[in-house]
Every structure is written in C-alpha cells, then in structure tokens.
Amino acid sequence: MGNLKEFCERWGANYESMIVLDADSVMSGER
C-alpha cells in the first residue's frame, strides 16, 4: 500500500475520483 499512499499524497489533488484494482482479488459478474 505504500505506493498507493505516496501516489495519493503527491498527485491526489489532480484527480476527482479513483478506482483501486487489486490483482489478488477475483471479481465475478454474477450476483
């Protein structure tokens, strides 16, 4: 999470929103 924290501190003011995708997570299109 260190890289994400650093990015937000340095560049976060330039963006209105953010989507974080975790490569270790699995998402399904089913409900």
3-state secondary structure (DSSP) of residue 21 = coil
Query: The whole model's pTM is what?
Result: 0.46
What lies within 8 Å, CB to CB, of 23 at 6+ separation is none
pLDDT for 1-31, tens place per residue? 578 889 889 999 999 998 887 777 676 777 7
Q: What is the pLDDT of residue 26?
A: 72
Phi-psi region of 25 (alpha: psi -120 to 50; beta: other; left: phi over 0): beta
H/E segment holding residue 5: helix 2-11
